[in-house]
């Protein structure tokens, strides 16, 4: 089958688009419930998928990424995988250690975007729609199956119809927190750039505000300006979808890969740890140390030192002190005092 396609990218795109087409055909009851007002979002989604696959394949072909994917997938059914998945993709516990402010910011941004996708994509592809009965009830239909009946003026209906408004407020709150931190935090100000760090936040902010303006126009202005605002909002979403795989927001769809990396580190750390060649402290698994050395050699990068050890066989504090010794001519790496540094472990 591989010979039928020009590249892995072409093969994955064909299979994904074909799968989406089949799901659209089934879910929309043979294309009878496709909302043409959402056609632009559909096109933007297909372009996003193409960009994501291009970025993912380019990333996965790199030797370190290929190694993590190969070994991480084999360890996918570890007992700790559900806990790791929850911490990395649901509760963001790993960010909590950086402070409650950044944790709240990521929860609002992350879940605001994810929930928006869960609402938007089923509507765009016709996988979910609503039909109204004469008795004041809506029927929620998913993939052609009647899922539930809800009162048109009930609380559940209110949540359904205002889901995107709720997620818009979540995203706005997260964006404002992120912008405040980037403007006030000295380290962030020194490392950031407008295009890479600020532009994605402004795009998310613009999408959320224009989406809320659509609701404002319907409720308070009786539809005044709604057609124009619909086009503006739709184009803002399409541009963001096209940009998403190639900018900083790409870490949102790439985030599940962190579960594979965590399983890789935990599994091999349980087997045997690599002792630092200078201080004797176990700092990474023996498997990871060997993999790093092999990957560096594969890329013709040699860090074999004259003292007989590889630079990757030193813990981070000793590695930093060894680099100092190469500049200063003094064996600072042999000093037994550890650094009082929050990044000393690695």
Distance CA 343, CA 283 (A): 12
Q: Fold for domain 2-258?
A: Fumarate Reductase Cytochrome B subunit (1.20.950)
| Collapsed DSSP state (helix, strand, coil) of residue 255 | coil
Residue 315 Cα distances to 29, 292, 303, angstroms: 59, 13, 14
pLDDT of residue 1: 66
Q: Containing H/E element for 282? A: strand 282-285
pLDDT of residue 342: 43
Distance CA 253, CA 251 (A): 6
pLDDT of residue 344: 44
Domain locations in the chain as residue ranges: 2-258, 272-334
pLDDT tens track, the chain, 346 positions = 667 888 777 888 888 888 888 888 888 887 888 877 888 888 888 888 888 888 888 888 888 888 888 898 899 889 999 999 999 999 999 898 888 999 999 999 999 999 999 999 888 888 888 888 777 888 888 888 888 888 888 898 899 889 999 999 999 999 999 999 888 887 777 788 888 889 999 999 999 999 999 999 998 988 888 899 999 999 999 999 999 888 888 888 888 888 999 999 899 988 889 888 888 888 889 998 888 888 888 877 778 777 788 888 888 888 887 777 777 766 666 666 555 554 444 4
Look-up: residue for tokens 């962030």?
A: 188
pLDDT of residue 2: 66
Report the 10 Å Cβ neighbour count for 89. Answer: 14
């Amino acid at each position: 089958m591989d010979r039928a396609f020009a590249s892995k990218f072409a093969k994955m795109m064909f299979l994904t688009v074909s799968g989406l087409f089949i799901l659209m055909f089934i879910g929309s009851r043979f294309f009878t419930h496709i909302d043409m007002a959402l056609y632009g979002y559909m096109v933007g989604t297909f372009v996003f998928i193409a960009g994501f696959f291009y970025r993912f394949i380019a990333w996965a072909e790199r030797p370190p990424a290929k190694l993590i994917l190969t070994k991480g997938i084999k360890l996918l059914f570890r007992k700790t995988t559900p806990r790791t998945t929850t911490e990395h993709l649901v509760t963001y516990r790993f960010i909590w250690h950086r402070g409650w402010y950044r944790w709240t910011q990521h929860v609002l941004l992350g879940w605001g975007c994810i929930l928006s996708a869960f609402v938007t994509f089923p509507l765009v592809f016709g996988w979910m729609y609503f039909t109204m009965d004469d008795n004041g009830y809506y029927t929620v239909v998913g993939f052609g199956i009647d899922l539930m009946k809800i009162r048109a003026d009930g609380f559940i209906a209110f949540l359904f119809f205002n889901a995107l408004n709720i997620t818009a407020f979540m995203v706005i709150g997260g964006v404002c927190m992120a912008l405040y931190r980037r403007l006030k935090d000295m380290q962030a100000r020194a490392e950031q750039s407008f295009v890479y760090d600020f532009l994605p936040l402004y795009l998310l902010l613009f999408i959320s505000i224009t989406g809320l303006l659509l609701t404002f126009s319907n409720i308070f202005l009786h539809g005044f300006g709604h057609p124009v605002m619909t086009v503006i909002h739709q184009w803002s979403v399409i541009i963001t979808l096209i940009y998403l795989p190639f900018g900083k927001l790409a870490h949102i769809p790439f985030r599940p890969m962190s579960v594979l990396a965590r399983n890789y580190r935990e599994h091999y750390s349980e087997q045997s740890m690599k002792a630092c060649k200078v201080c004797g402290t176990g700092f990474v698994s023996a498997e990871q140390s060997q993999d790093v050395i092999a990957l560096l050699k594969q890329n013709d990068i040699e860090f074999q030192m004259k003292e007989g050890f590889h630079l990757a066989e030193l813990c981070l504090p000793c590695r930093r002190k060894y680099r100092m010794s190469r500049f200063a001519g003094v064996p600072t790496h042999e000093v037994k005092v550890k650094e009082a540094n929050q990044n000393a472990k690695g």
